[in-house]
Amino acid sequence: MIGLIGISYKTSSLDVRERFSLPKEEIILFSELLQAETGISDIVVLSTCNRTEIYFSQSKYEFQLASKMVYKTLKQFKGVEHKSWQSFYSKSNEEAVNHLFEVASGIDSMIIGEDQIIGQIKDAYVFCTDAGLTDAVLMRLFQKSFEASKRVRTETKIKMGTTSVSSAAVQKCASLFPDLFGKKVLLIGAGETGSLVLQSLSKNGVQKLTVTNRTLEKSLKLAARHNCVPLPFDQVAVHLYLYDIVIVATGSAVPLITLEMAELSVKNRNGNHQVYVDISVPRNIEQEVESLENVTLFTIDDLHSVVNTNMEKRKESVSTANEIIKEIANDYCEWLASRSLRPAIKTITNNMSKITKGELSEYNKVNSEEIQKAIDEFSQHLTQKYTRLFIKNLKEITANGRNAGSLEIVNGLFSLEEKQQEITK
């Protein structure tokens, strides 16, 4: 069974989401605790600025119990004491499959059709797979999500206009500063999001760009790639006042811009307006910064209000995208359901073969080699024919493995080895 619990910008505010953020360095530790507490070991964790989702594969528990166990383990791991279940959603099997495909295709994003999410899903999948946390069910699920994303983005117009949080952040700045050309911008963060921010800033005519990162090598590489000025991270505090716009996009678990740093910047700017944009989760700029005079602070949730002139056209693509998603999801669910038939099919095939061999052993004692060969060939043909008939009827009766009740009865009929041994005696 596939299960999912998650929290997103649709169900909770930023201050709740950031408590449940799971950066890569915590995923393996969380998986170890989850396995110790529940026995669930096959997971993929997707943690972005807009959502934290845990996909899991297991057959030990009923879904509602399993989802609550995963949630409680997450709370325990993150040290969250207050109740937050009302902010979470949980889905199983087909609903979980459809949800992942919608997320991968950008339908469930804050900005419909945004591009960054599919890269984040691929990174999450590769990380968890390399760590040995995924089984065949999750592997195929995420590979099919990549297929859904590719088809939706190539067969619809869902990518039109602003399609990423990074470009929305720059658009927000442009609404405050009509002339971005002369503005000085500092980017803190040299990851994928940071790179997309720089691309968007360049497209909007910004030329005075500075980039910094806790790892100097990363900031140097990104600065060279985008023709920016690198700034050592330990010099951010003393140079902060130089910048009209400060954008923070990192995975830091603690604030990188403190109230004290922002206050010093305000003193040195002589009343000039300064804009901070925090697109990190957890937040990397202390919330109190927004109370300062001549300072504007935007967080990831503030980007909801970004005006997108192409939004309606992208919304029109959602129905077509859903048709594509439904087709690929059905294909995956058929495969998933058929996996439940494998034990019964294997047992039917093995038992038919045992019965045939048992019956032939008596005939072969009294017949010539030529007759034995003819009987063997005929019996094998008959065995294969009836085996195929059994399997065909099995798939029809169980709706290709979807009808759990019928499948349980079938497994009961064919799974007991001792019954077959009695038949062959």
Q: What is the pLDDT of residue 27?
A: 97
Which residue among 305, 324, 358 closes a domain? 305
Q: Is residue 299 part of a domain?
A: yes
Q: How many angstroms separate the CA atoms of 226 and 351, rounded?
A: 66
What is the domain range of residue 371?
A: 340-424
Are both 156 and 21 inside the same structural domain?
A: yes
Beta-strand ranges (E) seen in 86-200 are 89-92, 184-188
Q: Which of 59-73, 110-124, 156-170 has the highest mean pLDDT?
A: 59-73
* pLDDT tens digits, 2-14: 999 999 999 999 9
**Sequence-ordered list of residues with C-beta below 8 angstroms from that of 219, at least 6 positions apart, any chain:** 190, 211, 212, 213, 230, 231, 233
Coil, strand or helix at 109? coil
Same domain, 42 and 74: yes
In this structure, are 118 and 252 located in the same domain?
no
Judgement on whether residues 119 and 176 belong to the same structural domain of the protein: no
Has 333 been annotated as catalytic? no
Whether residue 262 is contained in a domain is answered as yes
Mean pLDDT, range 260-274, rounded to an integer: 95
Residue 136 in any domain: the answer is: yes
CA dihedral 326, 331, 335, 338 (to 10 degrees): 80
Query: Which CATH number do you get for residue 255?
Result: 3.40.50.720
pLDDT-based confidence at residue 157 (cuts at 50, 70, 90): confident
Could you tell me the pLDDT band of residue 359, with boundaries at 50, 70 and 90? low
Average pLDDT, the chain: 85
| Residue pair 34/60 in contact by the 8 Å Cβ criterion | no
pTM value surpassing 0.85? no
- The 10s digit of each residue's pLDDT in 198-207 is 988 988 889 8
Q: Does residue 153 sit within a domain?
A: yes
Number of domains in the chain: 3
Residues 43 and 92 both lie in one domain: yes
Given the residues 49, 128, 173, 333, select the one marked as catalytic: 49
Does residue 310 belong to any structural domain of this protein? no
Q: What angle do CA 340, 343, 346 make, to 5 degrees?
A: 135
- How far lies 125's CA from each of 138, 207, 248, 396, in Å? 9, 36, 25, 34
Q: What is the DSSP letter of 300?
A: G
Question: Residue 336 gets which letter from DSSP?
Answer: H
| 357 and 269 share one domain | no
